[in-house]
Amino acid sequence: MKKIFLCVLCIFCSFHSRAFAETIISENQYQVLESKLQELNQVVMELKNTVDSQKVEIEYLKSNQIRGSEPAQTAASPPTASQGSRTLQGRWNPDIGVVVDAVLSQDSPRSDGEGADRLSVRETELVFGSPVDPYSRLDATISFSDFEDPGLEEAYYTHFDIFGSGITGRLGRFKPMVGKAASVHRDSLDTVDEPLVVQHYFGLEGFNKSGADIARDIELPWAVTHRLTLGILEGGNGEGGTLFGETRRRPTIYTHLKNYADLNDSTGLEMGITQLFGSRDEDSGFESSVLGFDVTLIHHYADQRHVKIQSEGYRLSRSKSFYSLEDPVSGNVTFQDLDDAKNLWGGYSLLDWRFDPRWAAGFRFDDLQLVETADNFANPDSHEVGYTGYLTFYQSEFARWRLQLTHVDLTNGEDDNRFFVQGTFAIGEHKHKLQ
């Protein structure tokens, strides 16, 4: 009987020991599974943050994509995955960059104004930019010069994929998508100065305006990228521009259609059409209209070596053109119509050859008819023609040197010879990139 009792006791203890061991193992497995689940939840949250920030980056690149037919432009860097949401990442400081553009210039006429026959810091840009949230971004550029007062060059808010429609909107002061040369910063140009048609028609430093615009990619069943931009801007021109009047209250409406296609693996073709409507006086009419076109062909034949051909032209039309004549004896004023001169045009063609990763050379030809004032046209048979040759040395990703010689046949029959030495230096996010 005692043996039977001991056997039963052993079996009972063995059973409960096994159950106890299994309970311990189950608890350990549960803790491991719970730990793994927490790790997975953390990974999912990190992936979600990355996806949100990448959406910002994709939309940013869509709205500010580098034209496939031209070298990489100097622009505020797009937000990276780690920068997508400052609140999620605890990052509150914006990206900051500085670009200095120093120019030594010499002109043959002695009556020229600012920056002539001297070494000057023509422009220093202080650039700020950062995502506001996963859906939008804020950029600002303040410009300084040693012969101009400080000014606000750009300050605009960008919202990506508005209501999931694929539309990108901008609000503030920015460079509208008008052609090629007028819509980029000076440090992104292939030459020291803007083409003559941009200087005389839009302004000496291109076209910066306050307003709003929207842009969207157009999907069509062929291998061509289309992007349509519509915008409304404050009236007037840039410094020295003559397309429209001086009144900012009368808005300017613009549209731009960009079309890009890869002809092969190393060659790209871009074509653009621009239309602007504005006022040349204080009334509410749109008397001035501008039709622009641009074509850019770029062929990459080796690493960081390319040949680029770019042309851009504008045709200015006015519904009524006249100028006033005052009789020196009677003092009577008469108005003479210029119906045959209400259409003027101007443009340029440029050849840029990047024959070495660190060297490039090029030539630009300018030809345009000048607008004398906002109220009348100059002699349409009188052209200003320019010839420009340049040599560029890319010292590094952040420094660039350029020599340029320009000869201009002025409308009064005189010549103007201009010599430039330019140095462009950058630090921070806003930098000149190797192309």
Is the pTM higher than 0.85? The answer reads no
Q: What is the DSSP letter of 199?
A: I
Nearest to 179 by CA among 317, 291, 280, 277: 291
Place of tokens 């409406």: 253
Token duo for residue 134? 């996963």
In angstroms, rounded to a whole number, what is the distance separating the alpha carbons of residues 155 and 174?
6
Cα–Cα distances (Å) from 143 to 19, 126, 153, 185, 198, in that order, read 78, 6, 6, 11, 19
pLDDT of 400 = 96
pLDDT of 147 = 77
pLDDT digit string (tens) for the chain, length 435 residues: 555 555 544 554 555 545 444 444 456 666 666 676 777 777 777 777 677 666 666 665 655 543 444 443 333 444 444 444 444 444 568 889 999 999 999 887 655 555 567 888 999 999 999 999 999 999 999 999 887 888 899 999 999 999 889 999 999 999 999 999 999 998 899 999 999 999 999 988 888 899 999 999 998 888 899 999 999 999 888 888 888 877 787 899 999 999 999 999 999 999 999 999 988 776 667 778 999 999 999 999 998 899 999 999 999 987 654 444 555 555 555 545 544 446 889 999 999 999 999 999 999 999 998 886 544 555 556 789 999 999 999 999 899 999 999 999 988 788 899 999 999 999 987 654 433
pLDDT of 268 = 96
Place of tokens 């460079």: 175
CATH of 43-428, one of 2.60.120.10, 2.50.20.10, 3.40.50.620, 2.40.160.10: 2.40.160.10
- Contact by Cβ (8 Å): 308, 296: yes
- Contact by Cβ (8 Å): 201, 184: no
Using DSSP, state whether 209 is helix, strand or coil. Answer: strand
- Contact by Cβ (8 Å): 278, 243: yes
pLDDT of 430 = 65
pLDDT of 4 = 52
In angstroms, rounded to a whole number, what is the distance separating the alpha carbons of residues 39 and 32?
11
Cα–Cα distances (Å) from 258 to 144, 289, 321, 380, in that order, read 32, 19, 31, 30
Cα–Cα distances (Å) from 126 to 17, 94, 150, 215, in that order, read 75, 12, 11, 26
Question: At 206, phi and psi to the nearest 5?
Answer: 90, -145
- Contact by Cβ (8 Å): 238, 207: yes
Outline where 151-273 has alpha helix (H). Answer: 196-197
pLDDT of 83 = 44
- Residue 149 φ/ψ region, left for φ over 0, alpha for ψ in the -120 to 50 degree band, beta for the rest: beta
Token duo for residue 316? 């200015």
pLDDT of 56 = 65
Concatenated DSSP letters for 130-142?
EEEETTEEEEEEE
- Contact by Cβ (8 Å): 345, 291: no
Q: What is the DSSP letter of 170?
A: E
Q: What is the DSSP letter of 371?
A: P
| Domain edges within the chain | 43-428
